[in-house]
Amino acid sequence: MRRDEIVQAPHWLIPDWPSLPCVRALSTLREGGVSQGAYASLNLGAHVGDDAANVAENRRRLTLSAGLPSEPIWLTQVHGNGVRNIDAEAASLAPTCSGLAGSRSVASEPPAADASWTRSRARVCAILTADCLPVLFATQSGDAVAAAHAGWRGLSGGVLEATVNALGVDPATLLVWLGPAIGRQHFEVGPEVREVFLANDAGAVVAFKESSRGRWWADLGLLARLRLLKLGVTHVYGGGECTYAQPERFYSHRREGQTGRQATLIWIERTG
């Protein structure tokens, strides 16, 4: 790494969950990259209109600075509940950051899914967000990890349930971390969104507060916790960072419209 890369290295958050054997995870902040304007500066999303060369450089810097064992496996997120096993599909989920031998262009289209999981070492699950809720999963034994993209559509559509089901372990043995997302005080939705959640669980009413405009402030983190609790997942951490309220730290689509994406990553280290 060159001297200028050390000075301008990317910054990130580390999940505040218990130490896990071999598991590492982080959620990036927006400093430390080369993107300009609306995307300044560590935009990691290749689908938002940023210059592809800048995105590739930002991804390269993250890989080097964080000591990633391999380049993250990026997904085309569609606000659904599809879950990819990146062990079974390693060939089709090739790295998409250019600049390393054998890698495809950053503009290549990754497969559509909103969560990925692995039991293999050195494969990095990755989720891109700019207000939606990134959710990380790890078994307490550290032998399986997953990452899910949970906006309101994904949450109501069952992306967390699908991820837990894909991991195939006792939910009580899972640790979950809720990454940075838009907070309830800034996430106003229509009554139809509230009704979707209440139709699944009447208890979800506690996650909504009526606004002065006859709409509803929705708490994505609480909605996620309620759904995880129904699954039997009780070890849930994080959820305290609002992307909308902190423009110097996070991208926010609702605040800015055209903007970049931060990444939330998890992997099992190469050696234990």
Name 9's Cβ contacts closer than 8 Å, sequence gap at least 6.
1, 32, 61, 65
Query: Residue 139 is inside which H or E element, if any?
Result: strand 133-139
**The listed CATH number (3.40.718.10, 3.40.50.1580, 3.60.140.10, 3.90.25.10) that belongs to domain 3-181+240-268:** 3.60.140.10
**What count of other Cβ atoms lies within 10 Å of the Cβ of residue 21?**
13
What is the distance, to the nearest Å, from the Cα of residue 87 to the centroid of all Cα atoms in its chain? 19
What is the distance, to the nearest Å, from the Cα of residue 170 to the centroid of all Cα atoms in its chain? 23
pLDDT at 192: 98
Report the amino acid identity of residue 20. Answer: L
Q: Which residue has the tokens 């994505």?
A: 220
Average confidence (pLDDT) per 10 residues, the chain, 272 residues: 57 95 96 97 97 98 96 96 87 46 51 96 98 98 97 98 98 98 98 98 98 97 98 97 98 97 97 68
Name 119's Cβ contacts closer than 8 Å, sequence gap at least 6.
87, 143, 144, 268
pLDDT at 97: 42
Which DSSP state fits 200?
A: H
pLDDT at 272: 57
CA separation for the pair 247, 147 (Å, rounded): 24
pTM above 0.85, yes or no: yes
pLDDT at 9: 81
- 216 to 10, 45, 129: CA distances (angstroms): 36, 29, 22
Name 269's Cβ contacts closer than 8 Å, sequence gap at least 6.
22, 23, 24, 69, 121, 122
